[in-house]
Amino acid sequence: MQRYSIFFLILLFNLVSFAQVRGDLDKRKALMKAEGLTMNGRQLNDSIGGNMFDEEIEVELSAKTHYTDYKIISHLKDTIVIDTTLSLKKDHKFNYIRKNNFELLQLHNLGQTFTTLGYDFSDESIFPKTGMRAKYFNFYDVEDIKYYHVPTPSSELFYKTGIQQGHVLNSLLTLNLTPQLNISIAYKGLRSLGDYRNALASHQNLRTTTSFETKNKRYQARVHFVAHNLMNQENGGLTDDSLFLFESDDKDSQDRERLEVNLPDAESVLKTKRYYLEHSFNLWQKIDTATQKESHLQIGHEFTHSRKHYLFNQDKSNNYFGTTYQNVISDSTYHRTTDNTLFADLKSKYILGALRFMATYSNFNYGYNNILYLNNQTIPEKLKGNIVYAAASWDASLKSIALKTAAGAIIQGDLKGNYLKGIASFTKDSLFTAKATLMVKSQAPNFNFLLYQSDYIDYNWRSNFENENTRYLAFNFESDKWVDVETSITQKDFYTYFDEFSKPQQYNDILSYLKVKAHKAITYKKITLDNTFLYQKVATGNEVFKVPEFVTENTLYFTDYVFKGDPLFLQIGITFKYFTKYQANEFNPLLNEFVLQNTSEIGGYPMFDVFVNGQIRRTRLFFKLENASSLWTGRTYFATPTQPYRDMTFRFGLVWNFFI
């Protein structure tokens, strides 16, 4: 915690000092002019030979800057402007993962995992992941890293209070050393004690980026380094007796630390590091003077090296997970990957867009340090191998129609997988955009389904599973005038899951999943009602894939400028969230996965959040009373069958942008 505070103070001190330089220079110039001195970058001496200033340099901008000059560039090289406005979308993203969590329900403490209320199967990746999926909500993947282009040094500070004791701080500083070279550094620190026993969350994340291009833009390079250290104390939920005391609103248990938990001394840690380089060179390029559209032939290389280490520790074992080999639990899983990709891009009006070919050589190493012999079964220490992957994509556009097709397959190696994806969209002026997506893919299950070792005897296996086969069809309709609608139908063969005994299984029938999501905001003068509805239906496979049938989030809020001169933009409102009862999966902290259970239901309770937000120049302030409805609903609010959602809690925070 002390490190976060020191980092924050140093960064804030330097930013404020830097921002004051311009004003100080003007004052010093006036003083120096009165004394007959000049300021031209040379060292200035006083009458006794000392330094009056240490290499003071007058900075003169070559042109005025505009807010559109401050740019954020995504992994796919899409560019947006740094947005310092206050909107309801900003309120929905004001959380520690900085994403809209409409389809998520967080366990009570900041930094804990989420129960998933709705699923998205549109990901085209065919490489199996490590597993331990409950740890990855606060994880920055390659696609999550942003690059920047700014005319002057810029920064952003995000701060929000935690539960009981603690807070989360996310700070970013970026600057262009030259118009062609940008660097950035960002750090996220989280520490939140939580209301219940053994629920502390302590997360650290460091992100650095560098982007460069030559003046003629023929050579471009992007580099980033990301490190995570995500530690959670894992209490395993409330015991049966404590669940009864919580639901009956026992007076002696209103201090939540009095309630007994299943795991009083367990913790899980995920440590990761990733090194990434992407660079390309234009063999040929041309810009159409009439349309300013670029044509080019580009070759490039992409390198990624990732190391992940997952640990689960207990000072003393108990029977919650069964019998053990030893009294002190110290499980350790590692996963290392190295990917090298060569690609060639052709962009031309003659092919109506861009064509890409790519080939990847990937090395993976997942596992443990020992071979295990259990019940006449040999469980190997690791899964190690290499694969060669080839893919191609074509992006084309013709007037109001845009097409994107992509295909890829593992053509050689120790894994199998392939995919085919097509997207077609039509835009009618500024009225609406309609899009259809079709994807078929085959992918190996995550590695922890295939191999796992633990000091708990029941958590050791080596599985031989089929690839999961996915068929995904989606339709999207977006309009500022009408309702936004997203509809998807997903079918999966050999769906892989953890059963009621936390053992990996595959579903031998077809899983069919329908998802319909609609959004519409209605505004009258200064009052807005923002509505999001989600309907889901599992036609086949509902015994292994469980979701609430209906989820809704509705926000009624008022916005206006207040005080003389409009210095404060105010946003006041209330958010209502509800989902129907269903047999939600239970969180297993040893695996850091959600597993099936068929005995308890959660949901069917309203959640009201009251908020007051404000904007003063580039500073956004957020004040929120969370789960205010707990005052009258009784103790029925749960995030999993054994883990309550948070009690009524007041929290506040801010997002502050600096542009020097």
Q: pLDDT tens digit string along 351-372?
A: 888 999 999 999 999 999 999 9
> Is residue 57 scored above 80 in pLDDT?
no
Tell me, what's the pLDDT at 546? 96
Q: How far is CA 65 from each of CA 108, 181, 502, 548, 615, rounded to the nearest angstrom?
A: 44, 18, 57, 49, 22
Tell me, what's the pLDDT at 651? 94
Instruction: List all residues 6 or more positions away from 174 whose beta carbon is below 8 Å from its beta carbon.
Output: 148, 150, 153, 154, 155, 182, 183, 184, 185
> Is residue 613 scored above 90 in pLDDT?
yes
At 285, the pLDDT band (50, 70, 90 cuts) reads confident
> Is residue 22 scored above 70 in pLDDT?
no
What is the dihedral sign for C-alpha 39, 42, 45, 51? positive
Angle among Cα 516, 427, 520 to the nearest 5 degrees reads 40
Predicted model pTM? 0.87
Residues 650/624, Cβ–Cβ less than 8 Å: yes
Tell me, what's the pLDDT at 451? 97
- Concatenated DSSP letters of 487-551: EEEEEEES-EEE-TTS-EEE-SSEEEEEEEEEEEEEEETTEEEEEEEEEEEEEE-TTTS---SEE
Number of other CB atoms surrounding residue 522 within 10 Å: 10
What residue ranges in 288-380 does DSSP mark as E strands?
Answer: 294-314, 329-348, 353-367, 372-374, 377-379
Residues 252/658, Cβ–Cβ less than 8 Å: no
Mean of per-residue pLDDT scores for the chain:
89
> Is residue 151 scored above 50 in pLDDT?
yes
Helix (H, G, I), strand (E, B) or coil at 654: strand
At 56, the pLDDT band (50, 70, 90 cuts) reads low
Task: Sort strands 114-116 and 51-53 into parallel, antiparallel or unpaired.
Answer: unpaired
At 38, the pLDDT band (50, 70, 90 cuts) reads very low
One domain, residues 455 and 323: yes
Tell me, what's the pLDDT at 290? 73
One domain, residues 46 and 187: no
| pLDDT (tens digit per residue) in 377-425 | 899 999 999 999 999 999 998 888 999 999 999 999 999 999 999 999 9
Domain-ending residue, one of 10, 33, 64: 64
Domain-ending residue, one of 22, 38, 64: 64
Cα distance between the two ends of the chain:
28
Q: Do you know the residue count of the chain?
A: 660
One domain, residues 1 and 93: no
One domain, residues 39 and 92: no
Beta bridge partners of 31: none
| pLDDT (tens digit per residue) in 427-485 | 988 889 999 999 999 999 999 999 999 999 999 999 999 999 999 999 999 998 899 99
User: Hey, what are 508's tokens?
Assistant: 């031998």
Domains: count for the chain: 2
User: What percentage of residues in the chain have a pLDDT greater than 90?
Assistant: 79
Domain range for 11: 1-64
**Whole-number Å distance between alpha carbons of 359 and 340:** 8
> What's the 3-state SS for 399-418?
CCEEEEEEEEEEEEECCCCE
Element (H, E) at 34: helix 2-34
Helix (H, G, I), strand (E, B) or coil at 422: strand
> Is residue 44 scored above 50 in pLDDT?
no
At 15, the pLDDT band (50, 70, 90 cuts) reads very low
Tell me, what's the pLDDT at 634? 86
Number of other CB atoms surrounding residue 617 within 10 Å: 11
One domain, residues 60 and 167: no
Beta bridge partners of 53: 44
**Whole-number Å distance between alpha carbons of 458 and 100:** 37
- Concatenated DSSP letters of 105-173: EE-SSTTS-EEESS--------S-----GGGGGG---GGG--EEE-SS-EEEEEEEE-SSSEEEEEEEE
Instruction: Look up the CATH number of the domain holding residue 129.
Output: 2.40.170.20
Residue type at 159? Y
One domain, residues 39 and 78: no
Tell me, what's the pLDDT at 602? 96
One domain, residues 248 and 336: yes
Tell me, what's the pLDDT at 20? 38
**Whole-number Å distance between alpha carbons of 72 and 467:** 37
Residue type at 530? D
**Whole-number Å distance between alpha carbons of 164 and 649:** 9
**Whole-number Å distance between alpha carbons of 164 and 53:** 48
Burial 253-286 (b: 16+ CB within 10 A, else e): beebeebbbbbebbbbbbbbbbebebbbebeeee
User: What percentage of residues in the chain have a pLDDT greater than 70?
Assistant: 90
Angle among Cα 493, 498, 499 to the nearest 5 degrees reads 100
Instruction: List all residues 6 or more positions away from 566 whose beta carbon is below 8 Å from its beta carbon.
Output: none
Task: Sort strands 527-540 and 550-562 into parallel, antiparallel or unpaired.
Answer: antiparallel
Long-range contacts of the stretch 43-48 (C-beta < 8 A, 24+): none
Give the residue among 574, 571, 580 at the shortest CA–CA distance from 626: 574
One domain, residues 103 and 42: no
Give the residue among 306, 309, 325 at the shortest CA–CA distance from 317: 325
Tell me, what's the pLDDT at 153? 94
One domain, residues 37 and 176: no
One domain, residues 25 and 144: no
**Which region holds residue 59: left if phi is over 0, alpha if psi is between -120 and 50, else beta?**
beta
Q: Which residue has the higher pLDDT, 161 or 32?
A: 161
Residue bearing tokens 């809020």: 557
Q: What is the mean pLDDT of residues 319-323?
A: 93
Long-range contacts of the stretch 11-16 (C-beta < 8 A, 24+): 11/155, 11/157, 11/171, 11/173, 12/157, 15/155, 15/173, 15/658, 15/660
Task: Sort strands 418-428 and 147-149 into parallel, antiparallel or unpaired.
Answer: unpaired
Residue bearing tokens 């009784």: 634
User: Hey, what are 64's tokens?
Assistant: 């005025």
**Whole-number Å distance between alpha carbons of 230 and 209:** 21
One domain, residues 218 and 235: yes
Element (H, E) at 13: helix 2-34
**Whole-number Å distance between alpha carbons of 219 and 216:** 8
Q: What is the mean pLDDT of residues 6-31?
A: 41
> Is residue 3 scored above 70 in pLDDT?
no
**Whole-number Å distance between alpha carbons of 455 and 514:** 40
| pLDDT (tens digit per residue) in 77-125 | 999 999 999 999 999 999 999 999 999 999 999 999 999 999 999 999 9
Residue bearing tokens 């994880």: 139
**CA-based diameter of the chain, in Å?**
93
DSSP 248: T
What is the dihedral sign for C-alpha 63, 15, 160, 98? positive
One domain, residues 418 and 513: yes
**Whole-number Å distance between alpha carbons of 379 and 367:** 11
**Whole-number Å distance between alpha carbons of 471 and 176:** 44
Domain-ending residue, one of 64, 98, 118: 64
